[in-house]
């Protein structure tokens, strides 16, 4: 009778360990998938920006500094760690805001169909990037909770599952925008 109890406890522990391990692996892979979605959207934006810059160049030849900032930020976006890429993304967003502000100074640019389409595509991409970041951070939070919670933390430590850092907004994105009329 005691052997049956011992065997039952061992079987329950083994099954619990397997289930916990598998859930940690699943969450870790969801984190990779979530980052891949962010990467897809960043690359999409990366491909749209040259078209936007070329469209704006025709209207704003003397606004070279703004265009240069966009190109530099775009180039930083494709390499580095996840957080470095998010920082470069913040720089790029600021530079893109400057380009869109240029459209106010150039009524012909503002009415240009290519510019409007590119602006809509970039806006759509920005929304997808924001959603992808949210999904990534939510998935990381779920994973980190599992890594820190008892009893799954025992399995996580035994199999070297480490916490993952969430993406943080760049400092300039935390400042409240100034609106003036």
Superfamily of domain 38-165: LemA-like domain (1.20.1440.20)
52: tokens are 């936007």
The C-alpha atoms of residue 53 and residue 68 are separated, in whole angstroms, by 9
Tens place of pLDDT for every residue, the chain, 181 residues? 889 999 999 999 999 999 999 999 999 999 999 998 888 888 887 777 777 777 666 665 545 666 676 677 767 766 667 777 777 777 777 777 776 676 666 666 655 676 677 778 878 888 888 898 899 999 999 999 999 999 999 999 999 999 998 888 666 555 554 544 3
Other Cβ atoms closer than 10 A to 104: 9
Gyration radius from the chain CA atoms: 24
Contact 31, 139 (CB under 8 A): yes
pTM for this prediction = 0.68
- The region that residue 80 occupies, defined by phi over 0 for left and psi between -120 and 50 for alpha, beta otherwise, is left
């Amino acid at each position: 009778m005691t052997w049956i109890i011992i065997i039952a406890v061992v079987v329950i522990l083994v099954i619990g360990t397997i289930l916990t391990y598998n859930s940690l692996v699943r969450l870790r892979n969801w984190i990779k998938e979530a980052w891949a979605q962010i990467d897809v959207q960043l690359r999409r934006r990366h491909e749209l920006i040259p078209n936007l810059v070329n469209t704006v160049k025709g209207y704003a030849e003397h606004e070279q500094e703004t265009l240069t900032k966009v190109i530099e930020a775009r180039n930083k976006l494709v390499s580095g760690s996840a957080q470095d890429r998010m920082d470069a993304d913040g720089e790029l967003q600021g530079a893109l805001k400057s380009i869109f502000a240029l459209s106010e100074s150039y009524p012909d640019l503002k009415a240009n169909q290519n510019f409007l389409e590119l602006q809509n595509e970039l806006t759509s991409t920005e929304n997808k990037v924001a959603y992808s970041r949210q999904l990534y951070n939510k998935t990381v939070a779920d994973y980190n909770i599992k890594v820190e919670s008892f009893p799954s933390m025992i399995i996580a430590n035994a199999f070297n599952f480490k916490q993952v850092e969430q993406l943080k907004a760049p400092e300039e994105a935390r400042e409240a925008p100034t609106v003036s009329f």
